[in-house]
Amino acid sequence: MDKILVANRGEIAIRVMRACRELGITSVAVYSNADEGALFTRYADEAYLIGPAPAAESYLNIRKIIQIAKDCGADAIHPGYGFLAQNPNFAYVCEQESIRFIGPSSKVLELMGNKMAARREMKKAGVPTVMGSDGHVDVSNAQEIISELGFPVIIKPSGGGGGIGMTVVNNEEELQEALASAKLIAANTFGLADVYVEKYLPDPRHIEFQILADSYGNVVHLGERECSIQRRYQKLIEETPSPALTSRLRHEMGEIAVKAARWVNYESAGTIEFLFSEGKFYFLEANTRIQVEHAITEVVTGIDIVKEQIQIARGCPLSIKQEDVCMNGWAIECRINAEDPLNNFTPSPGKLQHYRSPGGVGIRVDSGVHTRYTIPPNYDPMISKLIAWGRDRNEAICRMRRALYEYIIVGVKTNIMFHKAVMENPRFVNGELGTHFISTETTLVDDMRRITKREKSLEERLSQIFTHTRRAAAVAAVAALTQMRLQRDEREADS
């Protein structure tokens, strides 16, 4: 494998290309009109335009991507995350064209991509799942299934993802309407109206395990990531290890994650997601790709997950055994997005008039932006992933706070103040996390306002100090000049 086409954009495209460079592999970028000149297109060894800005005509255009891969002689495609990363059809076309898809087989993608089928499969494997339906739910069987589970329940699209179409139902009266609307959303978004139900757990934690599996049957887990700080089922802050796990539980859950991967003959990097509630854990879904938050695992384990993923696709055995995996210290990731946290997190794309990312010991910033870069309105408004490492959780939090205060982004609104508020939140600091954290921490909005006010007054005080300093400097300069003139006059008078 000498040349990899990266069918993605932004920070993850650069992340993959970095791994390629270390491995001596040529990297190829494909980009839409909206990404002309973007950093990832310049980082790549080669770059080709795929089409107009809308993803359907560019990053989701399978035919065009395959054509470019063939034309430029790429022998593999890395799909990153999102876009085509979990699309079995894309993987299948790659397989047919003898282009290595860097991920699991199309068969595994198909199986795990249907969340209900994956749930059934995991039950067969002996992996604990949340109580719920074993098949599709519709008006004819909903009442019977739910009477066994008891309210509240959550309706989920089988072909779903991104939290889309998931609906919590609290009572009988809401059921029919919720079912109809979930099915409609599922059909429109995923082209599959099938939905299933699960018992809705009260404020669980989201804990997932990173796994690596090669084609020789070796499977290891790289420990867990806690991703409970979410908004609308979307992760905003992740950390590893989880403050909730003992080493016994980590071992137990890790073994189950490995068992789940083995059961489906998984090959590549992947994630087994669990909900964790009252000391028990339940399989949620498998993410059959590299995840946004993979970097925190890299920071604590020292293992380059993308490089391992590429090596697996090359047919190499894993470079590590389970006993080699050692988690050192603590890492936290804040997703820095161009969005306004004081206005319902509305996206705020636009031009970065000034951009300076934090640095120093224990800080990693994965990003695809720079000063004068314009964040296009067409895609996810992520600016960067800010990762802080510390020897323990407290050091990681303090370092994250310091890095957030160093971050300078001018030109678009960002969620940095939200992250600052969370890093100062006593419940967060105590590690008392849950997926309802944001909705139950009602002081966060006031905290963000307080932090903004505090920073403004600090800025004002600083600018006053500078004005004073400037005035004082001017006075001193005038005094020095006057003194010089006086001395000159005296000298001239003497001569």
If phi > 0 it is left, if psi is from -120 to 50 it is alpha, else beta; for residue 98 that is left
Residues 6+ apart with CB under 8 A from 139: 176, 179
What is the rounded distance in angstroms from the CA atom of residue 10 to the CA atom of residue 385? 11
Neighbours of 139 (CB within 10 A): 11
Q: Per rule CB under 6 A, is residue 216 in the interface with ligand ADP?
A: no
Run of H or E including 229: strand 219-231
Neighbours of 128 (CB within 10 A): 14
Q: Looking at 121, 226, 285, 447, which residue binds ligand ADP (CB under 6 A)? A: 285
Q: Is 365 helix (H, G, I), strand (E, B) or coil?
A: strand
Q: Per rule CB under 6 A, is residue 161 in the interface with ligand ADP?
A: yes
Q: Would you give the binding string for ligand ADP spanning residues 240-279, x where CB under 6 A is met?
A: ---------------------------------x-x----
Q: CB of 196 within 8 A of CB of 158? A: yes
Closer by beta carbon to ligand ADP, 216 or else 233: 233
Q: Per rule CB under 6 A, is residue 163 in the interface with ligand ADP?
A: yes
Q: CB of 54 within 8 A of CB of 34? A: no
What is the rounded distance in angstroms from the CA atom of residue 432 to the CA atom of residue 45? 45
List the catalytic residues. Answer: 289
Q: Looking at 78, 100, 119, 206, which residue binds ligand ADP (CB under 6 A)? A: 206
Q: Give residues 338-397 in contact with ligand ADP (rule: CB under 6 A).
A: none
Q: How far is the CB of 242 from ligand ADP (least distance, A)?
A: 13
Q: Looking at 37, 73, 126, 162, which residue binds ligand ADP (CB under 6 A)? A: 162
Q: How far is the CB of 422 from ligand ADP (least distance, A)?
A: 16
Spell out the alpha helix ranges (H) of 45-171: 62-72, 88-96, 106-113, 115-124, 142-149
Q: Looking at 177, 233, 445, 473, which residue binds ligand ADP (CB under 6 A)? A: 233
Closer by beta carbon to ligand ADP, 28 or else 211: 211
Of residues 383, 163, 407, 396, the one with CA closest to residue 273: 163
Q: Is 203 helix (H, G, I), strand (E, B) or coil?
A: coil
Total of residues contacting ligand ADP (CB under 6 A): 20
Alpha carbon distance, N-terminus to C-terminus of the chain: 87
Q: Give residues 125-144 in contact with ligand ADP (rule: CB under 6 A).
A: 130
Closer by beta carbon to ligand ADP, 163 or else 217: 163
Q: Looking at 412, 435, 438, 444, which residue binds ligand ADP (CB under 6 A)? A: 435
Q: Per rule CB under 6 A, is residue 146 in the interface with ligand ADP?
A: no
| Position of minimal CB gap to ligand ADP | 435
Q: Per rule CB under 6 A, is residue 281 in the interface with ligand ADP?
A: no
Query: Which residues here bind ligand ADP, judged by CB under 6 A?
Result: 130, 154, 160-163, 166, 198-201, 204, 206, 230, 233, 273, 275, 284-285, 435
